[in-house]
Structure 1
Amino acid sequence: MKCPSITKLCLSTFCALPFLGFAQKRPHIILIFTDQQNVNAMSAAGNPFLCTPNMDALANDGIRFTNVYCTSPVSGPSRASIVTGLMAREAGVEWNDNSKLGEGIQTVGDLLGENGYRTVWAGKWHIPEIYPQRSKDSVKYLHGFELLPFWDAPNKHWLLGAETDPPLTDAVVSFLDSYDKREKPLFLAVSYHNPHDICMYPRKVGWETMSDSLLNLRPFGKYKLPEPMGIHPDSLSYLPPLPGNFTINVDESEFVIDKRTKPNSYGDEVQLSSLFSKREWQGYLNSYYRLTELVDKEVGKVVEALKRNGMYENSLIIFTSDHGDGMAAHEWAAKLSFYEESVKVPLIMVLPEKLQRGAVNSNLVSLADLVPTFCDYAKVRVKTNFAGMSLRRAIFPTEERWRDLIVTELADHLKDRTRKGRMIRTGRYKYTIYSSGERNEQLFDLMTDPGETTNLAYSKDYRKILEKHRNLLGEWMKERNDNFKIVTYEK
């Protein structure tokens, strides 16, 4: 499968580029994001097993970041960071439950709306209502955002992006076609559901071999899934290969093993997929890629509407996702892990000046950087102690160095809320620590072992590096008032 090639310009952390300042007018700011898209689930990233021409076109017009981490590998918490610029814990949303943003927490909708922008949210929200217009019909504004109505289908399945994404696009395109861009600059968030439909794959394919009472879940087979989601992999002649790090690590942390083996409806895809054959895992990947291609088509329609209405040239456009997907690496499905596949996401930034077209940037970036970036380009000064920084500093280096590390948090169980973890990524290494279980520390050399197959945390040769990362995490936690306990357990 061939996709249009894109020009690549590699930028190192310290590559100096001229600072050309703001566009003459405050730009429109367009945030387009998917749900559960892995950083490599894009043909612009060199993946030959899917074709995403519209995402690729954005990458060709902007900067593609390759080391972007969510603040928490689960939808609600990550989205809380996307709209606040804080860690999910700081925003008051650590789990996908009924948690709402903490009292007094301002979103980018509040911040920009108070400073002359029209702020509109379209699509999935999930903090905590997945689709507020469905669950609260009287709600027209939410945390500083005007909600864009896009669907009226009470008898349809709202948890399938195959059904919700196309009407969402139609509503967004209609809105853009009628928007009077002379009145106010626009902040528009377009939040898609796919490729999140991949969560239905383990629940469907693995259902016949699972006990209904084991996880207290219901089968999803009655919902029509997009082809080839509804096709068993044995009936397909071609399937993508399994990743090189497909096999489960022999020294995997007990905390992670428990997630695979103990009943827990929070992230049930992990348990359901544990019985997959290799062929079923290939089918999982195939379906994941096809679902990503489905949402790519929707992204293209929105970008075309921006161009048709003369908004593209004076817009800051950011494309990303809330978290990644296991993509069969370590035999892991979905999210809720610190493995690279689950915590890394795509991020493309198309500047209003359309500078650095086709650039590739390897700086360590957090999704908490989005709100500071939006405020920077909107010329809005705030006093919030953001967990992130404006990405302008990453692409136009100044005397202030860009960060040297990134932190991600994890809370993976609704009923046992003591189960938590922390991850710190530096230039070369990744260190993770969990709140319980044997082998609760992991250290990976991502330069020599990008697939995270060898845990160095218990090697005497890496003792100093391990202690350095423990200390770096401890310092970061102190700065952010994080009370997670760094307690080590023997192997």
Structure 2
Amino acid sequence: MAKNLLFLMADQLGAHALDGESREFLAAPHLARLREEGAAFTRAYTPFPLCVPGRSSLLSGRAPHEIGIDRNRPPEAVIEQFRAGPTLPRTLQENGFRTEWGGKWHAPRVEVCEADGFALTRPFGDAGLADWAAGRLDELTAAEQPFALFVSFDDPHTICEYARGQPMPYGDVEPAPVAETPPLPLNHGPLPYEPEALAHERAVGQNIHGTGTWGPDEWRQYRWTYARLVERVDHQIGTVLAALERSGAAADTLVVFTSDHGDGDGAHQWSQKSALYEECIRVPLLLRAPGGPSGRTVSAPVSTAALVPTLCAELGVVPPPGVGPGNLLEDAPAEDVVVETRIDHPASTTVGRSLLHGDWKYTVYSWGRHREQLHHLGEDPLEMRNLAVESRHGEMLASLRDRLLQRCLRDGDPFARRIPLPPELPAEVREQIFTPPY
């Protein structure tokens, strides 16, 4: 059992950057070592591919719709409700841990960070963050009180500033000759039977994020810059891990690395996040536990919201109320993973859900033509062939559609009324979906 927790987080780092073809164009030796020394979950998914909902769900262990956070600026009443509810840091603090946070908070607002269970916080920003964390590890170890240190890096989120042509807060990335940049991903271009809602949101987003006039060369420079930002994060993580070793606490410390969501990175001509494509929702998840497995790979779908019961189990703490038991390091993942999203632009809102069931992925958006997507990720990891329009996959489509419906009904997710419903749906189920009226 671990005595301490070191929780490392990046912002907007998709798993594809570390385990896909992109890894040929970047070096992340410190994360590679962490993977070798612990367990790697190669199909870990964010609960919501947007900063505040994703982080709030990750730290509370509850679904975004359950805590009412589905946007970066939730209503004040929702913020107050979240503050009053249980979270991982508050639970650890109540069990005698010294809890500290450094870097980006955003779950849901930085000024309430200390009220959410932290005895000490360091302001937003990557500049000097790794050195601050190294210093805190020395002091925390010397104090001999169990500690939980959360270190949250902003990069590679600053790719957003790059796309908008703005100065990058921690230093610009030197462009490379186009021939040396990563090629366009195979799924870069628009694909047949793409959801109309996504095509619309992409067009609106391209005007906001500055990518609407880009050609292949600009997209390749984007991917080059993103890779360099990932390398920056890896370097800083190396600084923190080296400090943990020097402190003498490594043998007693559970180390976690993950991200709040991914980045389109040019796939489907998508930058940023929010879409339910794999590049946006699949995130790295590495766990190194004292006495735990090393070099282990888990390929079943898991949600990063499951970190709360997992970390509590490894630290000998009862999970907070409303969070079920479970330990990703010991239990075989059994439940389907559901990812939520909401894309807000002026004059348009799109909500959606993805359900991961083994190698199958079912996605449905709230409006438009071809709003359902069906992919077998084992055969089509880049999501280039929408099987939802092929009649021979109708049985699987109906099965996964029903699995999502039953999950929504069980969990009180109002998205149930957005799922295409079969005409033979029992009247009592239909009443449950549409009561109260919307």
Given the two structures, how large is their TM-score scaled by the length of structure 1?
Answer: 0.80
Q: Distance in 1 between matches of 2:270 and 2:348?
A: 22
What amino acid is aligned across from residue 105 of structure 1 in structure 2? G
Q: Distance in 1 between matches of 2:6 and 2:413?
A: 32
- Give the direction of change, closer, same or farther, for the CA distance of 1:301–1:377 in structure 2 (3 Å limit): same
Check if 1:453 corresponds to 2:384. yes
2:14/2:283 contact within 8 Å kept: yes
Check if 1:339 corresponds to 2:315. no
1:119/1:145 contact within 8 Å kept: yes
Q: Distance in 2 between matches of 1:263 and 1:470?
A: 28
1:44/1:52 contact within 8 Å kept: no
Q: 1:4 aligns to what?
A: none
Aligned equivalent of 2:373, options 429, 439, 442: 442
Percent identity at matched positions?
A: 32
What amino acid is aligned across from residue 413 of structure 1 in structure 2? D
Q: Distance in 2 between matches of 1:334 and 1:180?
A: 38
SS in 2 for 1:148: strand
Check if 1:94 corresponds to 2:55. no
Aligned equivalent of 2:397, options 466, 487, 491: 466
Q: 2:425 aligns to what?
A: none
What amino acid is aligned across from residue 186 of structure 1 in structure 2? F
- Give the direction of change, closer, same or farther, for the CA distance of 1:254–1:140 in structure 2 (3 Å limit): closer
The alpha carbon displacement at 1:112 in A equals: 1.1
Q: Distance in 2 between matches of 1:236 and 1:454?
A: 29
2:11/2:157 contact within 8 Å kept: yes
Q: 2:114 aligns to what?
A: 141
Q: Distance in 1 between matches of 2:26 and 2:44?
A: 21
Q: 2:40 aligns to what?
A: 64
1:441-473 Cα offsets, whole Å, 9 max, x none, are 111111221110111112110111011001110
- Give the direction of change, closer, same or farther, for the CA distance of 1:320–1:487 in structure 2 (3 Å limit): closer
2:126/2:170 contact within 8 Å kept: no
Q: 1:188 aligns to what?
A: 149
1:411/1:417 contact within 8 Å kept: no
Q: 1:357 aligns to what?
A: 294
Output aligned runs, 1:186-335, within 5 Å.
186-204=147-165, 220-221=166-167, 225-228=171-174, 231=175, 236-262=178-204, 268-269=208-209, 272-335=210-273
Check if 1:172 corresponds to 2:133. yes
What amino acid is aligned across from residue 188 of structure 1 in structure 2? L
Q: Distance in 2 between matches of 1:222 and 1:110?
A: 33
Aligned equivalent of 2:86, options 91, 106, 110: 106
Check if 1:375 corresponds to 2:351. no
Q: Distance in 2 between matches of 1:43 and 1:433?
A: 27
1:95/1:414 contact within 8 Å kept: no
More helix by share: 2
Q: Distance in 1 between matches of 2:28 and 2:385?
A: 32
The alpha carbon displacement at 1:385 in A equals: 2.6
What amino acid is aligned across from residue 264 of structure 2 in structure 1? G
The alpha carbon displacement at 1:33 in A equals: 0.6
What is the aligned residue count? 417
Aligned equivalent of 1:35, options 11, 20, 27: 11
Q: 1:117 aligns to what?
A: 97
The alpha carbon displacement at 1:45 in A equals: 8.6
Aligned equivalent of 1:488, options 403, 407, 420: 420
- Give the direction of change, closer, same or farther, for the CA distance of 1:418–1:28 in structure 2 (3 Å limit): same
Give structure 1 stretches of 5+ with no counterpart: 1-22, 151-157, 159-163, 205-219
What amino acid is aligned across from residue 337 of structure 2 in structure 1? I
1:325/1:334 contact within 8 Å kept: yes
1:37/1:345 contact within 8 Å kept: yes
The alpha carbon displacement at 1:416 in A equals: 5.9
RMSD between superposed Cα atoms in Å: 2.4
Q: Distance in 2 between matches of 1:223 and 1:146?
A: 27
Q: 2:303 aligns to what?
A: 366
Q: Distance in 2 between matches of 1:388 and 1:283?
A: 44
